[in-house]
Structure 1
Amino acid sequence: MAFLKRLGFYLVGLSIGIVFLTLFLKKKSEETGAEFCYFPNCRTLKDIRSKSLSYSESINTMLAEKQLDSLDIVGFLNDGDVDFGRSDTRSDTCKTYFIEGLLKERTAVLKVRNCREKATVEELILIP
């Protein structure tokens, strides 16, 4: 069998396999909510989302005055970027993370204290 014919069969089989794999993994992630987090940013945000959230007094005040919505915080925890340079990741009991994101089309930083049992949203810093 000629090389080009073998290469053609290989590429056809590879493309069919990729299509089936994509459909299977998409269906699996929709059913179970499975998420493939291999990078530190994704793993950190997923860990924070998996715990019960509590809010500090300043965040509760902002929520009560309608300056901030709980959906904004969820947006930070889904789409934010963790600044590992500013974060305290070496603590044994509770690690502190600074998560950068957008709040009403402005850049903001959310300070989250991540303990073993729960995560506490401590502060929201708006960047001018």
Structure 2
Amino acid sequence: MNFIQRLGYYLIGLMIGAFAVWFILHQKETETFCYLPNCRVLKDLRSKPFQTSEEANFEMKNEKMSLDDVRLNLKHGDIDFSRSNLPYETGKIYIVEGRNPENQPIELELINYPDKVVLKNIKKI
């Protein structure tokens, strides 16, 4: 058996194995792996019950944002770790940089309590 035939058998086996792994992982309905700090914090913020403050409700009405837009920023936003993870009452403050529906940069100020997440403020950058 020459090299080309062995390479062909190897690639066919590799494709069958990759398809089997892909099929099994999609059947489990798992979320993507979150090993990086930004992904882990955003996943933690998304997993808890979500509340908004009066100031955040006012800003959401002015910016014409909905809670779906805020949740989208909690999925694709970036945590500013230099200004985050600060103690606040019994929780910690996190700053999430994202975009509003008009694609303008905004900042979400969130308080991460052990049992809930509160949106404290929304600011344009």
Q: TM-score, normalised by structure 1?
A: 0.81
Gap regions ≥5 residues in structure 2: none
Aligned to 1:11: 11
**Count of residue pairs the alignment pairs up:** 124
Question: Does the CA contact (< 8 Å) of 2:38 and 2:78 recur in 1?
Answer: yes
Aligned to 1:48: 45
Question: Does the CA contact (< 8 Å) of 1:86 and 1:98 recur in 2?
Answer: yes
Alignment of 1:86-97 (within 5 A): 86-88=83-85, 93-97=90-94
Aligned to 1:21: 21
Aligned to 2:115: 117
Counterparts of 2:106 and 2:72, CA distance in 1: 12
Counterparts of 1:83 and 1:62, CA distance in 2: 20
Return the offset for 1:84: 1.4
SS of 2:28's equivalent? helix
Question: Does the CA contact (< 8 Å) of 1:28 and 1:34 recur in 2?
Answer: no
Return the offset for 1:63: 4.2
Q: Does 1:60 align with 2:49?
A: no
The share of aligned pairs that are identical, in percent, is 37
Q: TM-score, normalised by structure 2?
A: 0.82
Counterparts of 2:111 and 2:87, CA distance in 1: 13
Gap regions ≥5 residues in structure 1: none
RMSD: 2.5
